[in-house]
Amino acid sequence: MVRIVVLVAFALMGVMVGVVGAFMQAQRVITAIGEYVIVLPWGLLVMLTVLGFVTRFATLATGTRWGAWLFFTGWLAATILLAAESPSGDLAVSSGGRQLAYLFGGVILGVAIATFPVDFRLRKRGQRIGHMGNPSQ
């Protein structure tokens, strides 16, 4: 029962991160150095980092990949919903370069991290990790 509550909480957390990320990914710092203009998309970098870390944390906290997949699914649902045009014609995630990097980068990063194994411990060749995480031969 506790595991189900934790999994639902990670799905809801994914929705929350998706809503915050839809607005925060557009934040940037613009600096002019001589003739050159440098744009640092700090919101995009922060949100992709948060997405990656929380996806991995969901796997480690639940001991299964379900936590990561539910978190990622919540994030993806909220992000797609906010990327669609609302009845008033507004978009939270528009079609600029940063926004596309957020969408595609988030999908690639989230899927990659959600498929990581739960246990990263290195094993000697031919050694298996048993059910409780103990090395068995």
Instruction: For residue range 115-136, list pLDDT tens digits in order.
Output: 988 876 655 565 565 555 555 5
| Domain count across the chain | 1
- Residue 92 near residue 26 (C-beta atoms within 8 A): no
Q: Spell out the residues 6+ positions from residue 85 whose beta carbon is closer than 8 angstroms to its own.
A: 91
3-state helix, strand, coil in the chain (%, to 5): 60, 10, 30
Does the residue 112 lie in any domain?
Answer: yes
* Owner of token pair 């990949």: 65
pLDDT of residue 130: 55
Does the residue 31 lie in any domain?
Answer: yes
Mean pLDDT of the chain: 85
Domain range enclosing 38: 2-118
* Owner of token pair 């528009």: 94
pTM tops 0.85: no
pLDDT of residue 18: 93
Does the residue 20 lie in any domain?
Answer: yes
Does the residue 50 lie in any domain?
Answer: yes
Does the residue 136 lie in any domain?
Answer: no
Does the residue 127 lie in any domain?
Answer: no
